[in-house]
Amino acid sequence: MIDLIIKNAKVATASDLFICDIGVDKEKIVFLEKNSSKVAKRTIDAKNQYVLPGGVDGHCHLDQRTKDGTEMSDNFESGSRSAAFGGTTTIMPFAIQFKGESLRKIIDEYHTRANDQSYIDYTFHPIISDASSKVIGQELPAMVKDGYTHFKIYMTYEDLQLNDREILDTLEAAGREKAVVMIHAENYECLKWLTEKLEAEGKTDPVHHSDSRPGVVESEATNRAIALSRITKTPILFVHVSDREAIETIRNAQNKGYKIYAETCPQYLFLKRDDLKKGNFEGAKYICSPPPRDPENQKYVWNGIQNGTFDILSSDHAPFNFKGDKGKMINGDKTPFKNIPNGVPGLETRLPLLFSEGVLGKKISINKFVEVTSTNPAKIYGLYPKKGTISIGSDADIVIWDTGLEKKIKNSDLHHDTDYTPYEGMTVKCWPGTVISRGNVVVENGKLLGKKGFGKFLKSEISNYVY
């Protein structure tokens, strides 16, 4: 007898929509059949419910080391728990390298942070901030061989940014090794110059974070990174793209046949610059980089999902408490925007927001939803078809969705350890009802049934996207 059958499932993959029974045994999907007569230890009837591959969140920050006295409010336990409640069954947090550190050492350290903590499977993106010849000449190739095939680099942040020369060296090495390079594209010198001018005028409130990082700061860096990618003939993936000109720049490069990939995030569809103006320092809750733009800009982000400019939609969950002295209020409720830690929480709300407004709001198809939230991140980061689809032989990471709801998002209902959500009060029309990770029910009827430590580290294959 097999472990589980999900009957009458309305299954959507990135390409198809069909009704069938899904058989699960020993953590894998073992059959997809119409009106199966097989029996299982447990049967779930999913009649009239969408049954989708578990979400793959290709970009989140958990228990990430910082240098400014702040502390992330979610670790692998609370972050993975929250992700599971939101229908995500694979997460990809970052392992950050500071200058002078060995990549291998930081990876070992992040394994210690994650070990026996996660409810769902995970992999890491190492962040390269020290592009020394040892790091990119020796460590990077060795790490790719060991299953770390995707890295992030920054064009901004004092401690993390690489200059153009270092980016060229890193891209050349990554290209040789067939690694995926994720790029945070903002021009550091420009935003630093703007920040200094704003400070001189006494403009240090949260909303001025947005003035220090206008769209052109992002689009200039995007354009330059595409040039560096072309020079080294190495594909790149832009993360958390927000600005309409940056989107157009990426689209143009893709149209010319360059291997340029892109990710966006819910904050660029559902949050806006005016949120940063909220009083009593509330605007700090919305500070992330790049910053939320204006409502007109949101249309370009939706369009980028519709027309395929964006391959991936991730949360970029970067959790800092609003209250207390380790988060947004690191220097009290007058903390100048420059010192407010960047990032918003969103692991749990990513899928319900996009499903509700995108699919049920008829902006995107159910297949596009699966593509950008599960299949593409699994493919691009070398985990497909183990993750990211419903097919025979794939891990049984499956979400049965409840629709026809009117649910107000409230932080008190979420399962992260962060003291706010920027989506407080927004209404969604769906929520994951049953969440299954490798055949095990992790969440059902709002209850956590999964076990801390069940989630395993996943080694990544070389991605087809970089050939």
Residues 6+ apart with CB under 8 A from 201: none
Residue from 316, 357, 371, 395 in contact with ligand URP (CB under 6 A) = 316
Let me know: does 189 contact 129? Beta carbons within 8 Å.
no
The DSSP bridge partners found for residue 127 are 96, 152
Instruction: Characterize the bridge pairing of strands 427-437 and 440-444.
Output: antiparallel
Site for ligand URP contains 56 (CB under 6 A) = no
Residue whose CB is less far from ligand URP, 88 or 342: 342
d(CA 74, CA 58) in angstroms, rounded, equals 17
Site for ligand URP contains 315 (CB under 6 A) = no
Instruction: Characterize the bridge pairing of strands 50-53 and 2-12.
Output: parallel
Site for ligand URP contains 318 (CB under 6 A) = yes
342 binds, among Zn ion, ligand URP, none (CB under 5 to 8 A by kind): ligand URP
Calculate the CA dihedral of residues 126, 246, 167, 230 and round it to 10 degrees: 120
Min dist CB 385 to ligand URP, Å, is 28
Min dist CB 27 to ligand URP, Å, is 32
Q: Give the binding site for Zn ion (CB under 5 A).
A: 184, 316
**Which x/- pattern over 274-313 shows residues binding ligand URP (rule: CB under 6 A)?**
--------------xx------------------------
Min dist CB 425 to Zn ion, Å, is 24
Site for ligand URP contains 61 (CB under 6 A) = yes
Provide the residue type at 248 as one letter: E
Residue whose CB is less far from ligand URP, 75 or 342: 342
Residue from 54, 235, 327, 343 in contact with ligand URP (CB under 6 A) = 343
Show the tokens assigned to 389: 């689809």
Residue whose CB is less far from Zn ion, 174 or 399: 174
Min dist CB 186 to ligand URP, Å, is 9
Min dist CB 342 to ligand URP, Å, is 3
Residue whose CB is less far from ligand URP, 221 or 318: 318
Angle between helices 215-232 and 244-255 (to 10 degrees): 20
Residue whose CB is less far from Zn ion, 209 or 438: 209
Min dist CB 115 to ligand URP, Å, is 23
125 binds, among ligand URP, Zn ion, none (CB under 5 to 8 A by kind): none
In this structure, is the dihedral angle defined by the CA atoms of residues 114, 116, 117 and 123, taken in order, positive or negative?
positive
288 binds, among ligand URP, Zn ion, none (CB under 5 to 8 A by kind): ligand URP
d(CA 84, CA 91) in angstroms, rounded, equals 10
Query: If DSSP codes are grouped into helix, strand and coil, which group holds residue 259?
Result: coil
Residue whose CB is less far from Zn ion, 157 or 454: 157
Residue of 88, 103, 17 whose CA lies nearest to 57? 88
Site for ligand URP contains 221 (CB under 6 A) = no
328 binds, among ligand URP, Zn ion, none (CB under 5 to 8 A by kind): none
Residue from 73, 82, 314, 342 in contact with ligand URP (CB under 6 A) = 342
Residue whose CB is less far from Zn ion, 23 or 343: 343
Site for ligand URP contains 240 (CB under 6 A) = yes
Residue of 195, 124, 190 whose CA lies nearest to 161? 190
Site for ligand URP contains 184 (CB under 6 A) = yes
Residue of 393, 403, 391, 400 whose CA lies nearest to 89? 400
Residue whose CB is less far from ligand URP, 288 or 396: 288
Show the tokens assigned to 258: 């360059």
d(CA 83, CA 411) in angstroms, rounded, equals 14
Let me know: does 38 contact 70? Beta carbons within 8 Å.
no
Residue whose CB is less far from Zn ion, 92 or 435: 92
Residue whose CB is less far from ligand URP, 239 or 436: 239
Min dist CB 156 to ligand URP, Å, is 8
Instruction: State the DSSP string of 62-109.
Output: -S---SSS---S--HHHHHHHHHHTTEEEEEEEEEPPTT--HHHHHHH
d(CA 313, CA 297) in angstroms, rounded, equals 16
Residues 6+ apart with CB under 8 A from 80: 62, 91, 117, 118, 119, 120, 122, 455
In the complex, the residues that contact ligand URP under the rule CB under 6 A are: 61, 184, 240, 288-289, 316, 318, 342-343
